[in-house]
């Protein structure tokens, strides 16, 4: 059972929770069901040409907006 990251669309609380099947959690801060799952941050290391190490990581974004964080809703 995976742990997903969510952002509340009402209060902009960001939280993680264990999810069973297709259930959608409520916000632990305001109890709203208006939450969106975020893209999880991931990172990896790869060897570039010449033996140089390159490190990359991705940001997260709410599914309800085009921002790369919840800054669009004041968070």
Q: What is the dihedral of CA 58, 59, 60, 66, to 10 degrees?
A: -110
> C-alpha 71: how far from its chain's center?
13
pTM for this entry: 0.53
The total number of residues written for the chain in this structure: 75
More confident residue, 3 or 10: 10
Rounded to an integer, what distance in angstroms lies between the CA atom of residue 12 and that of residue 2? 22
> C-alpha 51: how far from its chain's center?
32
Q: How confident is the model at residue 50 (pLDDT cuts 50, 70, 90)?
A: low
- Across the range 23-27, mean pLDDT stands at 93
For residue 67, pLDDT beyond 80:
no
- Across the range 62-72, mean pLDDT stands at 52
For residue 55, pLDDT beyond 80:
no
């Amino acid at each position: 059972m995976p742990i997903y990251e969510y952002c509340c669309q009402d209060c902009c609380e960001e939280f993680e929770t264990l999810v069973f099947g297709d259930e959608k959690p409520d916000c632990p801060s305001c109890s709203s069901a208006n939450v969106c799952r975020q893209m999880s941050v991931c990172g990896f290391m790869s060897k570039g040409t010449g033996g140089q190490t390159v490190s990359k990581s991705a940001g997260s974004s709410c599914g309800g907006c085009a921002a790369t964080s919840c800054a669009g809703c004041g968070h």
